[in-house]
Amino acid sequence: MFFSFLAQSQIKFGAIVGYNHSMPKYEASGDSLKDHTATGQSFSGGLFGSYDIHDNFELIAELLISGRHHNTTLIYDRSDMGFNYYEEHFTSVSTINFELPILATAKKSFNKGRYGDSKTLSAFVGPVFMMNLSDSYYRSSAYRITVYNQESIEKEETTESPIDFRQINLGFTAGVQYEFTFGLRVGFRYQTNFMNENTNDNFDMRYSQLQVNLGYTIFKN
């Protein structure tokens, strides 16, 4: 009976690529990171495998190499009685991660078109196991002091990262997917971390991402 169940279950393997919109969140003990803007885009790619447990339920596992990147601009401006102090910091942070999402998927198949081709709409949710493979950091700072129209400017750059990245992390993802009969699948998902991206004591950084994915089934039994 067990082997008959396996024989009737459908297994698929394929490739997947994605576009990631990063939404990093900083928290610090002081207010030095209070007024800043952060944006970032990156890409991901890898392989997926799915296993049908039921007509309306399947498990999906993905092996991904995923990038995370964002630029942050922090500005501090203060003026008082002919004195002006302006400070601007630009930071670029990037990481490359190995990710393993395990997705529980509920799906609904329906026929559409002249020949009744089957399409599948599904919703999924599950944990994401992450490992940091590499990271990079760049910071450019500018300081301007103006006293009664006399101005002095200083600039400095560094690539020495103050961020102690966590090597192993755990996240959560949820989303929807539309699969065509010929194997193409289009998905949209939200992903966030359960733990901070870093282990620093003086500030915390945590990622959330919106992802758009394209996949293609290469093999199915």
Q: What is the pLDDT of residue 71?
A: 87
| Weakly modelled stretches of the chain, pLDDT under 70 | 1-9, 28-37, 112-117
Domain ranges of the chain: 9-220
Q: What is the pLDDT of residue 210?
A: 94
Over residues 49-96, the pLDDT tens digits come to: 999 988 899 999 999 999 988 888 878 787 777 778 888 888 888 999
Q: What CATH code is assigned to 9-220?
A: 2.40.160
By the 8 A CB rule, do 18 and 214 touch? yes
Q: What is the pLDDT of residue 82?
A: 72
Q: What angle do CA 21, 25, 28 make, to 5 degrees?
A: 160
Count of CB atoms situated within 10 Å of the CB of 9: 13
